[in-house]
Amino acid sequence: MKLGDGVEAAIHCAAMLAGVEGNSTMSGAAMAEAFGLSPSYLLKHLNLLTASGILESVPGPSGGYRLARPAERITLLDIVLAVEGREPAFRCGEIRQRGPVKLDASAYVKPCGINAAMLKAERAYRAALAEAKISDIVADFMNDADPRSIAASCAFVERHQRRQKAQPSHVQSNKE
């Protein structure tokens, strides 16, 4: 199974946004710069994450993106499904019912064993992704990465986060 490059970019952006303070944001251009990506390419994926409720987009000159919910509540499965869609990676085309040895449809009443095995593997793969949270990935990075990498990443976030003005008390944030 091959996931698109957008999945990697989306996961890295979510992990980066987990490091912004409070209700601060980060621009898509800054994240694109951080990962050496085209801003227009990354924007497409940031929009998918926003539409899925993983990110929140804040308009305006000091706007940008931030997590729409705590990093503990965002899984890799959430991100993969937002970017790649909900369809299983394997889609059975029932090719066993084609070609010169094609039989009457009544010969194929039992489900295809190959499809069943692939869907079982898909369920296991999705279950593993559902257990992996952005907060855990960030914590592992902070504990295990080279200190230079941690320092560089933290400095980039600090330099590029956009602090937002405090919201009036009568305006409720949708961030949990």
Is residue 28 situated within a structural domain?
A: yes
pTM of the model: 0.85
Pairs from 153-160 (Cβ < 8 Å, separation ≥ 24):
153/16, 153/19, 154/19, 156/16, 156/30, 156/34, 157/16, 157/19, 157/20, 157/26, 160/26, 160/27, 160/30, 160/34
Is residue 106 situated within a structural domain?
A: no
Parallel, antiparallel, or unpaired: how do β-strands 25-26 and 55-58 relate? unpaired
Is residue 139 situated within a structural domain?
A: yes
pLDDT surpasses 70 at 169: no
Domain count of the fold of the chain = 1
CB 35 within 8 A of CB 9: yes
How many Cα atoms occupy the beta-carbon half-sphere of 133 within 13 Å? 10
pLDDT surpasses 80 at 172: no
Give 92-106 pLDDT, tens digit per residue. 888 888 888 888 888
Say what the pLDDT of residue 1 is: 67
Question: Residue 81 sits in which domain range?
Answer: 5-86+133-162
Is residue 120 situated within a structural domain?
A: no
Percentage of residues in the chain having pLDDT higher than 90: 73
Q: Which residue has the higher pLDDT, 95 or 144?
A: 144
Give 25-80 pLDDT, tens digit per residue. 999 999 999 999 999 999 999 999 999 999 999 998 889 999 999 999 999 999 99
Say what the pLDDT of residue 161 is: 94
3-state helix, strand, coil in the chain (%, to 5): 55, 10, 35
Is residue 38 situated within a structural domain?
A: yes
Say what the pLDDT of residue 131 is: 98
CA distance 48 to 85: 10
For tokens 């961030």, the residue is 175
CA distance 11 to 64: 17
**What CATH code is carried by the domain that includes residue 10?**
1.10.10.10
Is residue 15 situated within a structural domain?
A: yes
pLDDT surpasses 50 at 111: yes
Say what the pLDDT of residue 164 is: 86
- Please report which confidence band the pLDDT of residue 175 belongs to, taking 50, 70 and 90 as the band edges: very low
Is residue 59 situated within a structural domain?
A: yes
Is residue 145 situated within a structural domain?
A: yes
Determine the average pLDDT of the residues in 143-156: 96
